[in-house]
Amino acid sequence: MTTTEAGSEATVPSMEGPGGSEGGSDAAVAAVEVVGSLSPSRAGDFMTCPLLYRFRVIDKLPEKPSAAAARGTLVHAVLERLYDLPTAGRTVGAALEMLDPQWERLLEAEPELAELFAGEGGESERAEWLEQARRMVERYFTLEDPRRLEPAERELFVETVLASGLKLRGYIDRVDVAPSGDVRIVDYKTGTAPRADFEARALFQMKFYALVLWRLQGRVPRLLQLMYLGNGEVLRYEPDEADLRATERKVEALWQAIRRAMDTGEWRPRTSRLCDWCDHKQRCPQFGGTPPPLPSAPVVRPSPADLESAPRERDDL
């Protein structure tokens, strides 16, 4: 069941309060040979455009820093560190005070982000960019009260290996665990809520995470919650075992399609409105471009499990 609300209290009483998640054992899959690896970001790339997946994962072509992605990383960093504060100190003012130091921390870690505001008018663009981040942080406080929450996990890296040998992995923004053991998976989005006909795509990432936790812990998460800080809407979904089995079949089918593309060398482009923001548009045959030659196959072909070596990425756009 899916529910979408605007500007409403996003806390769920049964999910609030301290708690710890039950640890899962990897013993059941320890003997399985890993044949590949997939994250929600890369799965999304392939569903959007197989050629985009190739450019990012196979060719590892560089991409220009994105102001929207950088803003997402900044807002996520603030919301993660907000919960380091004592409960009473988790206020709007305290969160806003974190923006500048967190931006400086990001610049130190990724100096190339300075290019975003290096041109003429860069200072005013930076000020407007920061103001948008401030509005998103303020909007978060209209959706839930962090003083009533004590997350079990934040920025949690999870991975599991399916019986087929496919490794699933990713980062979860926040995991809340109720005293009853019920689990809520929370993801912050700095974009706006999708139209109803695009909700399934938005929920795929959350079902992916739920599948990983279910395989690790043997318990289906109670609630999946997407918080859209761009317009203040909350999308909630209550998954069941059938949902997660269907998600598992979907990711297995995606991986088989990726393997076929690897074996044949056919990475077909798929056009959409997202093409206007793609860094690789000039290389795309759909727009008169020519992709670079595929990397030469090494004498010893690396395992497909090693293909996804990219660092943590935001799934906000």
Q: Phi and psi at residue 244, in whole multiples of 5°?
A: -75, -35
Count CB-CB contacts under 10 A for residue 252: 16
Cα 192 versus chain centre, distance? 15
Give CA separation, 289 vs 60, 269, 282, 283, 286, in Å. 18, 11, 5, 4, 7
Q: In the 3-class helix/strand/coil scheme, how is 246-257 assigned residue by residue?
A: HHHHHHHHHHHH
C-alpha span between 2 and 15 (Å, rounded): 17
Q: Which two tokens stand for residue 163?
A: 């019986």
Q: What single DSSP character describes residue 28? A: T
Question: What is the predicted pLDDT for the residue at 202?
Answer: 83
**What pLDDT is recorded for position 196?**
73
Q: Cα 177 to the chain's mean position, in Å?
A: 20
Across-strand partners of 225? 186, 236
Amino acid at 107: L
Residue 302 has a pLDDT of 42
pLDDT in the model for residue 306: 45
The one-digit pLDDT tens for each residue of the chain (317 residues) are 666 555 444 444 344 443 333 334 444 455 789 999 999 999 999 999 999 999 999 999 999 989 999 999 999 999 999 999 999 999 999 999 999 999 999 999 999 999 999 887 888 999 999 999 999 999 999 999 999 999 999 999 999 999 999 999 999 999 999 999 999 999 999 999 888 767 888 899 999 999 999 999 999 999 999 999 999 999 999 999 999 999 999 999 999 999 999 999 999 999 999 999 999 999 999 999 999 999 875 433 344 444 554 445 545 44
Contact call for residues 177 and 152 (beta carbons, < 8 A): yes
Q: Which helix (H) or strand (E) holds 226?
A: strand 223-228
pLDDT of residue 26: 47
